[in-house]
Amino acid sequence: MQNTGALFFDFKPNDSITGVLVKNARLSIISITLGDLPSLEYIILEATDIQAMEVSLFCPFRCLKLVRVSHGKLNTISGTGTNVHQCSLESLKLHHNSLTAVNLNLFAPFTSLTLFDLSHNKIEVLSGRLTSPFLTSLLLNNNRLKVLNLCPWNVVRHLNVFSIAHNNITRMPPCLDRFPNVTHLSMQFNQIDTMEVEQLARLPNLTSINLSFNNIATIPVDEHLYPQNLKQIDLGGNLIKNDTVPSSHIAAELCSTVACFVDSLIINDSPNVHKVHVPSTCNISVVDLHYTGLQYLHFEQNDSITSVLVRKNRLRIVPATLALLPNVRYVMLDSTEFEAIDLNLFYPLRHLKILDVGNAKIKYVRGTSRTVSTCPLEILKLRHNSLTIVNLNLFAPFTLLTLLDLSHNKIEVLAGRLSNPILASLLLNNNRLKALDLCTWSTLRHLDAVSIAHNNVSRTPTCLNRFRNVTHISMQFNQIDSIEVAQLLQLPNLTSLNLSNNNITSFPVSEHQYPQALRQLDLYGNPISNPFNETMR
C-alpha cells in the first residue's frame, strides 16, 4: 500500500503473504493482526504516523528477516526483552524517526540480528546492554549522543562496522574492545578531542577509522600504539597544532609516525597547511591533499608512491619533484593556480597512466615533439583551463595515449599535427575554434569518439577521413551551415552524428548519401527551411 489515506490495516490468517509494504500512509498503529501472517519475510512501514512500536510483535515469526520502520514519527519503543520465541530477524532498521531514548535490552530476543540501524533519530540516551551475538553492523550516526559507554555491553565478536558519526560525543567510547574484530570505525563530526590509540591497539583487525571534523589537536607519535592492520586514518577538519606537527614538514612527521601501517596520506580541509614535504622514507602509496592552503609541495626520491592527488589549493607551479616518483601511475592536480605546464616533466615517468590537470589557470603547454623515452601515458586531461593556443606536436611522445581531453578551454588555434596512433577519444568541445583542418594529421585508426561541440566552427572539419573508424561525432552548437555528406561517406563505421543547433538549412534525403552504419542524425535546433533540397556542398 503506497500513497493512501489508510488509518489502519487488518489481516485474516494467511499463509501466502510474504511481505508487507506500507509507504506514505496515515497509519498510526502497527496492527497485531500481522501475527496472522506466519510466512512473512519482510515488513516495511515507511513515512507513516506510527509513534510507538512493540518490538515483541516481531519475534514469533519463523521466516521474518527484515523489519524497517523509517522516515516517520516513531518516538517510543517497548517490549519484554525476554527470549520466549526463536526470533529469526536479521535486519532491523529504525532510521529517520524521532527516538530520543532507546533501551537496548528490548532487542535481546533478536539473537540472529546482523544489522541494527538507529541512525538519523534524536537519541540522547542509550540504556541497557547490547547482546546480539551475530551483529555485523551497528549504525548510531546522526543522533544527539554526548557520551557512549560500551563497558556493560556483551562482546560482539562479529561486528564489522560501527558508526557514531554526527553526534555530540566528546571522547571515544570506553571499552571499544567489546568489538574485537571491528574493521571500520566512523566517529567523524563529533567533539572528540583526544585520539585514544591505546583503545585502538586492542582492535587488531581495524583497517580504517574516520575521526575527521572533531577537536583533536595532537597526533600520537608512537607507531607501536596503532593496530598493525590499520590502513586509513582520516583526521581532516581537526585542530592539529603547528607546534605538534610542523606544517612545513607535516608529511615527514606523519610518515615517521604511521607510514609503517597505512598506505595513504590524506590531508583535507586544512587551510593552515601551507607546505608539505614527503621524504624518501615515507612508504605510502597515495598522497591526497584536498582543500588546503598548500603553496609548496616537495617530494624526495620515492619508489612507493603510485598516486598523487592535489585538489583545491594555492599551488602556483607544478612540483618539479614529481619527477622523483618513478612508480607514480596517477597524478591529479586540480583547482590550482598553475598558469603553465611543462610536459617534459612527465615524459620520463615510465609507469604514469593518467595525468589530470584541470580547473586551473593554465595558459601555456610546453614540451617536445621528440620521443625522448617510453611514455606509457594513456589518459591526458587538460580540461577547464585557459588555453588559447595548443601545439599538438607536444603530445607525440605519448604514443600509448587513448584519451586526450582539451575541452572547456579558450582554444582558438590548434597547431601541429595529432599523431597518437591508438587514440580512442578526442575532446575539443567548449572552446573557441573557428576552423579545424585535419589534413596534416596522421590517420588515427583507433579513434572512436570525437567532439568539437560548442565552438565557432563554420564548416565540417576537412579530411574527416583521418578518423576512418570513428563511430561518434559531436558537432552541436557551432556555426556549420551544411552537411558535407561526401566526407561522411568516407566514415563507414559512423553510427551517430550530432549537428544540432547549427545553421543548417537543408539536408540530403537519399539514404545512399549517408554511411550505412549511421543510426542517429541529430539536426534539432537548425533553421531547416526545405528538407527536400538536395543541393549540398
pLDDT of residue 264: 75
pLDDT of residue 510: 77
Q: d(Cα 444, Cα 422) in Å, to the nearest integer?
A: 7
Q: Are 84 and 110 in contact (CB under 8 A)?
A: no
Q: How confident is the model at residue 249 (pLDDT cuts 50, 70, 90)?
A: very low
pLDDT of residue 384: 97
Lowest mean pLDDT, pick from 57-61, 236-240, 303-307, 432-436: 236-240
Q: Under 8 Å CB-to-CB from 105, ≥6 apart: which residues?
A: 81, 127, 128, 129, 131
pLDDT of residue 86: 66
Q: How confident is the model at residue 537 (pLDDT cuts 50, 70, 90)?
A: very low
Domain boundary among 104, 133, 165: 165
Q: d(Cα 124, Cα 145) in Å, to the nearest integer?
A: 5
CATH of the domain at 97: 3.80.10.10
* 3 state DSSP class of 397: coil
**Residue 85 carries which DSSP code?**
S
Q: d(Cα 387, Cα 422) in Å, to the nearest integer?
A: 24
> String of b and e for 109-135 (b: at least 16 CB within 10 Å)?
bbbbbbbbbbbbbebbebeeebbbeeb
Instruction: Read off the pLDDT of residues 327-358 as tens digits, 9 standing for 90 and up.
Output: 999 999 999 999 999 999 999 999 999 999 99
Range of the domain at 467: 433-536
pLDDT of residue 187: 96
- Over range 481-498, report the average pLDDT: 94
Q: Average pLDDT of the chain? A: 89
Domain count, the chain: 2
Q: Are 203 and 228 in contact (CB under 8 A)?
A: no
Q: d(Cα 99, Cα 183) in Å, to the nearest integer?
A: 28
Instruction: Read off the pLDDT of residues 356-388 as tens digits, 9 standing for 90 and up.
Output: 999 999 999 999 887 666 789 999 999 999 999
Domain boundary among 165, 193, 226: 165
Is residue 266 situated within a structural domain? no
- Over range 420-438, report the average pLDDT: 96
CA distances, 66 to each of 21, 38, 40, 42, 90 (Å): 11, 14, 9, 5, 6
pLDDT of residue 424: 97
Q: Under 8 Å CB-to-CB from 56, ≥6 apart: which residues?
A: 79, 80, 109
Q: Are 471 and 493 in contact (CB under 8 A)?
A: yes
Environment class of 415 (CB within 10 Å of its CB; exposed 0-12, middle 13-18, buried 19+) = exposed
pLDDT of residue 120: 97
In sequence order, what E strands does 195-314 have? 208-210, 232-234, 264-270, 275-278, 286-292, 296-299, 307-311
Q: 543510426: which residue's cell?
A: 519
Q: How confident is the model at residue 438 (pLDDT cuts 50, 70, 90)?
A: very high
* 3 state DSSP class of 236: coil
Is residue 285 situated within a structural domain? no
Q: Are 202 and 229 in contact (CB under 8 A)?
A: no
Q: How confident is the model at residue 154 (pLDDT cuts 50, 70, 90)?
A: very high
Nearest to 429 by CA among 458, 415, 409: 409
**Strands 264-270 and 275-278: what pairing?**
unpaired
pLDDT of residue 259: 54
Q: Under 8 Å CB-to-CB from 197, ≥6 apart: which residues?
A: 220, 222, 225, 226
Residue-by-residue DSSP string for 455-496? S---SPPB-GGGGTT--EEE--SS------HHHHTT-TT--E
Q: d(Cα 459, Cα 455) in Å, to the nearest integer?
A: 11
Lowest mean pLDDT, pick from 41-45, 148-152, 207-211, 275-279: 275-279
Q: Are 533 and 506 in contact (CB under 8 A)?
A: yes
Q: Under 8 Å CB-to-CB from 134, ≥6 apart: which residues?
A: 111, 112, 113, 114, 158
Highest mean pLDDT among 51-60, 153-162, 293-302: 153-162
Instruction: Read off the pLDDT of residues 392-424 as tens digits, 9 standing for 90 and up.
Output: 999 999 999 999 999 999 999 999 999 999 999
Domain boundary among 140, 165, 190: 165
pLDDT of residue 535: 40
pLDDT of residue 26: 87
Q: d(Cα 1, Cα 24) in Å, to the nearest integer?
A: 8
pTM flag (> 0.75) = no
Is residue 326 situated within a structural domain? no
Q: H/E/C letters for each residue in 46-82?
A: ECCCCCEEEHHHHCCCCCCCEEEEECCCCCEEECCCC
Is residue 252 situated within a structural domain? no
Neighbour count for residue 10 (Cβ, 10 Å) = 9
Lowest mean pLDDT, pick from 124-128, 264-268, 489-493: 264-268
Is residue 428 situated within a structural domain? no
Q: d(Cα 51, Cα 58) in Å, to the nearest integer?
A: 17
Is residue 386 situated within a structural domain? no
Counting residues of the chain whose pLDDT is more than 70, the rounded percentage is 91
Question: Does position 176 have pLDDT exceeding 80, yes or no?
Answer: yes
Question: Does position 235 have pLDDT exceeding 90, yes or no?
Answer: no
Grid cell listed for 297: 609541495
pLDDT of residue 329: 97
Grid cell listed for 299: 617530494
Q: d(Cα 297, Cα 265) in Å, to the nearest integer?
A: 14
Is residue 94 situated within a structural domain? yes
Nearest to 427 by CA among 401, 396, 445: 401
